[in-house]
Structure 1
Amino acid sequence: MNSSPILDLAGLTLEVNHLARGVRFYSQVLGLDLVRHDEAAGVAEFAVNPHQTLTLWQPVTRQANDARLAPLRPRGASHIHYAWQIELDDLEPSKALLDAHGLEWQEINLGTEDRPDWTLYFFDPFGHGLELRAVDRADARQPHFPPMPIQRPAHALPVMGLREVALAFSDYAAMKERLPRAYGFALAKEQEDRDFAQFTLGPQPEPDGNGTPRRWLYAWDPQVGLADMLGGDHALVRFYADVDAVAEAVKAAGLPSVQDEQGLAVRDPEGHVFEFVAP
């Protein structure tokens, strides 16, 4: 089996209709560090940890949020479902923190009765679906940048980093063929009862669940998933990767792209824009 050039999850951009409200939510509820706030450009960027970012874009008429990516016509993700990594011992205290912020949440066991894998789901003010997923930092299945505890304010959720993003694809069969061929994503598995594919963000496909610190790309056709959450439309997601290897595959696939010293950005036929950067 060929090794995947995709190494890890680097960042995610969300579309919001009120930038200041988004800054308040992600600063206060998640305790993220704001590193850029440009109202005129409609951009706010947070440092999640030393290796990952979360960015908010408020669309501005006749203006690109990012001039470098403008040829690819990117947008921030709409109603995307994505997950955060959290220590197992922090799941229970997080319920009280969500209550204190007035946020409704739902707890679901993604494991089995004898080997549970509890996770919490809630929504941000813009309809993006967030998940808190416990990870075992001693697990051998480590991502390129292993999760580490981050000191957050006492009122904030103790998240360590981004775990996964879930994207919608209207042509599921074409997506399943294209993501490994055109980018090199490693297909780990599909669910038997629905159009749902899991791609490991690492050199080889691995099993998901039960505390793995690995990071993931989920892809499904337009459907409502767990906790009434949807896969994202027109998402902008950034990955750590062997950029030259991805660029070779993208060129062979004939996909529109921009490549410079910052990395490679590609517009997928479904309207998602993927960025690939060196670790």
Structure 2
Amino acid sequence: MLGDCRWLTLEVTSLDSVAPFYRERLSLPLIEATDRQYRFDAGGSSELRLRRPTAVPRGGLHTHYAFSCPADAYDAWWDRLDADFDLQEVDFGSMRSLYLYDPAGNCVEIAGADEPSGTAGRTLSGIFEVVFEVADLPASEQFYTALGFEVVDRGENRTRTRLTNGPLDIELWEPQLGLADARGGVHVDVGINAESPAAVADNVAERVTKREQLDDGAVRIRDPDGHYLTFVRSER
């Protein structure tokens, strides 16, 4: 069984030009900084990683992804960011989301998707959605449903699909501009908690383009569109 997002990695050419956006504007605590990668605490069990393209997995380019926050923290985030960014907002009925871009061209969403916290402070609860660009939508749907995701929505023009495993949504987009002119990421690197990493990877063994056994029982695969998914044993 799959769990929530463990990490999302974004590719940047200059760590020093992008890191302040996440550290100062989004208030993400820095976990670790090296010459190649910065790791930030993104709330919940999630990390946001910024990585220079010096090896594979590289990290995603122009990736649209979403943080969740308590519903009563949403207005505080809007007030914090509105003065300095050209924010866009979408009201989905059950929640509101704001959209802005980081200095590397990634479309960042903050969604008031969680139960109210009672504090109304600016907090984030983790990464709950990532968008992948794919070449063959039906084939990608089959791949991700075999991993354990469930299709919950398809676009009217049949060029995008949203899948969920509960804690994490993955959207599959054929090349296009979405809300706020967002694009699906290419060669995205995502870590996902799993009760049995090897068993999850076995479900798509004949379709992966690469498979690696990592430390502590983690398994990394590369899907047919070049996205890397690492299944990490769930922490108990």
- TM-score, normalised to structure 2, is 0.89
Shift of 1:235: 0.3
Look up the match of 1:49.
43
Does the residue aligned with 2:123 lie in a helix, a strand or coil?
coil
Look up the match of 2:14.
18
Q: Cα–Cα, structure 1 residues 117 and 51, in superposed 2: closer, same or farther, change >3 Å?
A: closer
Gaps of 5+ in 2: none
> Which one has a bigger Cα radius of gyration?
1
Look up the match of 2:178.
225
Cα distance in 1, alignment partners of residues 185 and 220 from structure 2: 18
Gaps of 5+ in 1: 65-72, 139-147, 203-213
Look up the match of 2:124.
159
Look up the match of 2:204.
250
Cα distance in 1, alignment partners of residues 120 and 14 from structure 2: 27
Indicate whether 1:264 and 2:219 are aligned.
yes
Q: Cα–Cα, structure 1 residues 117 and 151, in superposed 2: closer, same or farther, change >3 Å?
A: closer
Indicate whether 1:80 and 2:58 are aligned.
no
Does the residue aligned with 2:139 lie in a helix, a strand or coil?
helix
Cα deviations by residue, 1:61-114 (Å, 9 ceiling, x for unpaired): xxx2xxxxxxxx4221000000111121222222221034x1110111123xxx
Cα distance in 2, alignment partners of residues 266 and 21 from structure 1: 30
Cα deviations by residue, 1:129-187 (Å, 9 ceiling, x for unpaired): 0111112338xxxxxxxxx89998xxxx5322112101110111211122222x23222
Look up the match of 1:130.
108
Q: CA RMSD in A?
A: 2.2
Shift of 1:58: 1.4
Does the residue aligned with 2:156 lie in a helix, a strand or coil?
coil
Query: Residues 88-103 of structure 1: matches in 2 within 5 Å?
Result: 88-100=71-83, 102-103=84-85
Look up the match of 1:193.
157
Shift of 1:244: 2.7
Amino acid aligned to 1:32? L
- TM-score, normalised to structure 1, is 0.76
Does the residue aligned with 1:266 lie in a helix, a strand or coil?
strand
Cα distance in 1, alignment partners of residues 65 and 17 from structure 2: 19
Shift of 1:201: 2.3
